[in-house]
Structure 1
Amino acid sequence: MSGSPLNTHSAFWLALLGLVVTNAWVGWNCWILADQAQAAVRQLTHLKRLERQIEELREHPIQLEEGTRSSDALARLVETAAKQAKINPEQIVRIDPGDPRRIEKTSHLEQKTSVELREIPLRQLVEFSLALEETGAGMHLPSLSLRVPVGTDVQSNTEELWNAQIILTCYVYDGSITNSPTTSLSR
């Protein structure tokens, strides 16, 4: 004879409860493992992006100059780039080189130059920016501010004109300070 109906029902419900608990535990573990796998994929993507940046810096390292540039040298660089972009010299309002400042406790200096251009088409501004960076003189353009010129009739011109404030930056090596490898410029 088979067991009493009460024992059969109890065994059935106990087995069902065991299956539900086991199923929940397996589901929970699968969810945790899936979350960890997604995190690993995100980390791998990030590491591959860092690897590409490192390879790019190896192929094209940041250029450092061996000394600060004089105001005249900076003005010549800006004027040469302006000629390449076919910018009229009268549109260059100001070239103001700043004093070099030390980058933390390294033997490197950062020299910023402010350039102001008036009533220049956006196309020429882009060409000017590219010409500056292509000079091979280690000039970078980290900041560009555009304003609409005052009193300009937009409809009378075929092309929009802009006043531009540009900050050019170059990094300079100054061997007057010796430092340890841990404090050198790590770009």
Structure 2
Amino acid sequence: MKMWVIAFGLTQAVVFGVLAVSVMRLRESKVSLVDNKRNAEICKQLAAEIRGLRQLESVAEENNSTAQLENSAVLAIASKCRINETQIRSIQRIPPESISGTEYIQQGISVMMTNVSLFQVNKFAIEAEHASGNPKTTLISLNEASRRSDSNVTAGRIPHPELWNAQVILTQLVYDATSHSKPPARSP
């Protein structure tokens, strides 16, 4: 009988040991299952981002022309500021410059105006900054276009405002997804 009790105790110990190991493995399996589901969701999201990034270059090329302020938009802004088209001497593109270490380029437009008041130049600069693409006024250069006669003031006549020849340079930063610049190397 003693042998039977020892065999029964030993069998019970083995069964409990197997059950304990099985329960631990079951818990590990549940944790692995949760991790695998989370990893599968992350993989789906990354795959969607990769598909989107593969199309980015073609979208960037299509949108590149619309990012730059068009001449018609410059003339519309000038018209808002009561600057006639005949007062716009030229609208010239400044060659784009890449900004080192980034994937941005700087695009510029030089607008030359003749016989405009200081108020018109200021209003043009402010209105231009609200245009599509968010150009910023980076330079305003003025040269006197006409001298007003001080005799007009002394004779009691209403003086005409001073008129200027002006150059306004508008600058935009545009993301260039087609550039292949590499970010600076990180230090460990």
Give the TM-score normalised by the residue count of structure 2: 0.55
Aligned-pair CA distance for 1:182 = 5.5
- Correspondence for 1:144: 140
Which amino acid letter does the alignment assign opposite residue 64 of structure 2? G
Report the counterpart of residue 119 of structure 1 in structure 2. Answer: 115
Indicate if the aligned counterparts of 1:68 and 1:111 stay in contact, CA closer than 8 A: no
Q: How does 1:153-164 map to 2 (within 5 A)?
A: 153-155=147-149, 157-164=159-166
In structure 2, what is the Cα distance between the partners aligned to 1:109 and 1:176? 11
RMSD: 2.5
1:90 equivalenced with 2:86 (yes/no): yes
Matched residues in 2 for 1:67 and 1:111: separation? 11
Letter paired with 1:124: Q
Which residue of the other structure, out of 52, 55, 64, is the alignment partner of 1:67?
Answer: 64
Taking only the aligned residue pairs, the percentage that are identical comes to 28
Structure 1 87/166 Cα, relative in aligned 2: closer, same or farther at 3 Å?
same
**For residue 168 of structure 2, what is the amino acid of its counterpart?**
I
Structure 2 residue aligned with 1:100: 96
Q: Does the CA contact (< 8 Å) of 1:106 and 1:177 recur in 2?
A: no
Please state how far the C-alpha of 1:177 moved relative to its aligned partner. 2.7
Q: Which structure 1 segments of 5+ residues have no match?
A: 1-65
The alpha carbon displacement at 1:83 in A equals 1.3
Aligned runs of 1:1-80 on 2, under 5 Å?
A: 66-68=63-65, 73-80=69-76
User: Whose radius of gyration is greater, 1 or 2?
Assistant: 2
Stretches of 4+ moved more than 3 A in 1? Answer: 68-71, 178-183
Deviation at 1:76, TM superposition (A): 1.6
- Counterpart of 1:133 in structure 2 is 129
- 1:176 aligned residue: 178
* Contact 1:117–1:165 under 8 Å retained in 2: yes
Distance 1:181 1:104, change over 3 A: closer
**Pair 110,69 (structure 1): closer, same or farther in 2 beyond 3 Å:** farther
CA distance in structure 2 between the aligned counterparts of 1:100 and 1:69, rounded to whole angstroms: 15
